[in-house]
A and B are shown apart, each in its own frame.
Chain A
Amino acid sequence: MTAPTAIDAIRAAFQADLSTIATAQDLQSVRDRYLGRKQGQVAALMKSMAGAAPADRPALGKAANVLKREIDAALTLRRETLEATARPVGSVDVTLPGRELPFGRRHPLTLIREQVESIFEAMGFEILQGPQVEDDHHNFEALNMPPDHPARDMQDTFYLERPMPGGGDGSARPATLLRTHTSGMQIRYMESHEPPVRIIAPGLVYRRDTPDLTHSPMFMQVEGLLVGEAVTMADLKGTLIGFLRRFFDADTRVMFRPSFFPYTEPSAEVFISCVFCGGDGCAVCKQTGWLEILGCGMVHPAVFEAVGYDPERYTGWAFGLGIDRVALLKYRVEDIRLFYDNDLRLLEQFPQ
Chain B
Amino acid sequence: MRILVSWLQELVELPVGPAGAGPAGPTNIAELADALTMRGFEVGAVEPWPVAEGAPPDAVLDLEITTNRPDCLSVFGIAREVGTIYAADCRLPEIESAVAADQDAPLAISIDDADLCPRYVGALADVEVGPSPRWLAARLEAADVRPINNVVDVTNYVMLELGQPMHAFDLAKLAGPEIRVRRAADGERIRTLDGVERTLQPQMLTIADAQQPQAIAGVMGGADSEVGDATRTIVLEAAYFNPISVRRTSKRLALSTDASFRFERGADVLAPLTAIARARHLLKAIGAGRARGAIVDCFPAPPDPIVVRLRHHRLGHVLGQTVDPSFVAPTLTRLGFAPRSERNGESPVWRVTVPSFRVDVNREEDLIEEVARHHGYERLPTTFPALTRPPQAAGDWRPRDQTVRRLLTGCGFSEAITYGFIEREAALAVHEDASDLVALSNPLSEKGAVLRPSLIPGLVDSLIHNRRRERQDIRLFELGSRFRQGDGETPSLALALTGAARAQHWTGAERKSDLFDLTGALTRLAEGFGVHAAFEADTTRALVPGRTARIQLTIGADTTPVGWVGQLDPALASRRGLPGAHEVYVAEIDLRSLTLEAFARLRAAPVPRHPSIVRDLSLEIDDALPAARVRDTIRTAAGPALVSVREVDRYQGSDVATGAVSLSVRLTFRASDRTLTDAEVQTATDRVVSALEQAHSAKLR
Whether B39 and A260, one on each chain, are in contact in the complex, defined by CB atoms closer than 8 angstroms, is: no
Residue A331 at the B interface, CB < 8 A? no
Please report the number of residue pairs spanning A and B whose Cβ atoms sit closer than 8 angstroms.
263
Residue A115 at the B interface, CB < 8 A? no
Residue B384 at the A interface, CB < 8 A? yes
Q: A340 — which chain B residues lie within 8 A by C-beta?
A: 417-419
Whether A198 and B387, one on each chain, are in contact in the complex, defined by CB atoms closer than 8 angstroms, is: yes
Residue B158 at the A interface, CB < 8 A? no
Residue B326 at the A interface, CB < 8 A? no
Q: A347 — which chain B residues lie within 8 A by C-beta?
A: 414-416
Q: A158 — which chain B residues lie within 8 A by C-beta?
A: 421, 440, 442-443
Whether A218 and B320, one on each chain, are in contact in the complex, defined by CB atoms closer than 8 angstroms, is: no
Interface residues of B in 204-237 (CB under 8 A from A): none
Whether B471 and A150, one on each chain, are in contact in the complex, defined by CB atoms closer than 8 angstroms, is: no
Distance in angstroms between the alpha carbons of A117 and B441 in the assembled complex? 34
Whether A148 and B248, one on each chain, are in contact in the complex, defined by CB atoms closer than 8 angstroms, is: yes
Q: Which of B10-18, B65-73, B179-187, B670-678 contacts A (4 or more CB under 8 A)?
A: B65-73
Among B380, B385, B469, B488, max chain A CB count under 10 A is at B385
Q: B421 — which chain A residues lie within 8 A by C-beta?
A: 158, 217-218
Interface residues of A in 210-264 (CB under 8 A from B): 210-211, 217-218, 220, 226, 228, 230-235, 237-239, 241-242, 255-260, 262
Instruction: Kindly report which residue of chain A lies nearest to residue B37, judged by CB atoms.
Output: A257
* Contact A258 B39, CB 8 Å, known A104-B412, A165-B488, A166-B488: yes
Whether B383 and A150, one on each chain, are in contact in the complex, defined by CB atoms closer than 8 angstroms, is: no
Number of interface residues of B (CB under 8 A): 93
Q: Which of A12-20, A78-86, A95-103 contacts B (4 or more CB under 8 A)?
A: A95-103
Interface residues of A in 139-162 (CB under 8 A from B): 148, 150-151, 153-154, 158-162
Q: A220 — which chain B residues lie within 8 A by C-beta?
A: 417
Residue B247 at the A interface, CB < 8 A? yes
Whether A159 and B442, one on each chain, are in contact in the complex, defined by CB atoms closer than 8 angstroms, is: yes
Distance in angstroms between the alpha carbons of A210 and B471 in the assembled complex? 29
Residue B381 at the A interface, CB < 8 A? yes
Distance in angstroms between the alpha carbons of A78 and B371 in the assembled complex? 93
* Contact A315 B317, CB 8 Å, known A96-B506, A241-B382, A340-B419: yes
Residue A170 at the B interface, CB < 8 A? yes
Residue A169 at the B interface, CB < 8 A? yes
Whether A107 and B487, one on each chain, are in contact in the complex, defined by CB atoms closer than 8 angstroms, is: no
Q: A131 — which chain B residues lie within 8 A by C-beta?
A: 481, 489
Distance in angstroms between the alpha carbons of A238 and B487 in the assembled complex? 43
Q: Which of B393-401, B558-566, B681-689 contacts A (4 or more CB under 8 A)?
A: B393-401
Interface residues of B in 236-283 (CB under 8 A from A): 243-244, 247-248, 264-265
Q: B66 — which chain A residues lie within 8 A by C-beta?
A: 259-260
Distance in angstroms between the alpha carbons of A140 and B680 in the assembled complex? 72
Whether B409 and A352, one on each chain, are in contact in the complex, defined by CB atoms closer than 8 angstroms, is: yes
Interface residues of B in 293-320 (CB under 8 A from A): 317-320
Q: A242 — which chain B residues lie within 8 A by C-beta?
A: 384
Whether A206 and B420, one on each chain, are in contact in the complex, defined by CB atoms closer than 8 angstroms, is: yes
Q: Which single member of A107, A168, A342 contacts B489 (CB below 8 Å)?
A: A168
Number of interface residues of A (CB under 8 A): 92
Whether B383 and A170, one on each chain, are in contact in the complex, defined by CB atoms closer than 8 angstroms, is: no
* Contact A196 B420, CB 8 Å, known A132-B481, A170-B487: no
Q: Which of A38-46, A54-62, A120-128 contacts B (4 or more CB under 8 A)?
A: A120-128
A residues with a Cβ closer than 8 A to B are: 96-97, 99-107, 109-110, 114, 117, 121, 124-129, 131-133, 148, 150-151, 153-154, 158-162, 164-170, 175, 178, 196, 198, 204, 206, 208, 210-211, 217-218, 220, 226, 228, 230-235, 237-239, 241-242, 255-260, 262, 265-268, 298, 300-301, 315, 339-345, 347-348, 352
B residues with a Cβ closer than 8 A to A are: 37-40, 42, 66-69, 243-244, 247-248, 264-265, 317-321, 363, 365-366, 368-369, 372-373, 377-378, 380-385, 387-389, 391-395, 397-398, 402, 405, 408-421, 438-444, 448, 451, 462, 465-466, 469, 471, 474-477, 480-481, 483-485, 487-490, 502-503, 505-507
| CB<8 Å pairs between A and B, sample of 25 | A96-B506, A100-B502, A102-B412, A105-B415, A109-B417, A114-B402, A117-B398, A133-B488, A148-B243, A148-B244, A160-B438, A162-B485, A164-B485, A168-B489, A175-B488, A233-B318, A237-B381, A238-B384, A257-B37, A258-B38, A258-B373, A259-B40, A301-B365, A345-B471, A348-B414
Besides the known contacts A124-B387, A132-B481, A235-B320, 10 further A-B residue pairs in the complex with CB atoms under 8 A apart = A131-B489, A148-B243, A148-B247, A210-B444, A232-B383, A237-B381, A265-B369, A315-B318, A340-B417, A341-B465
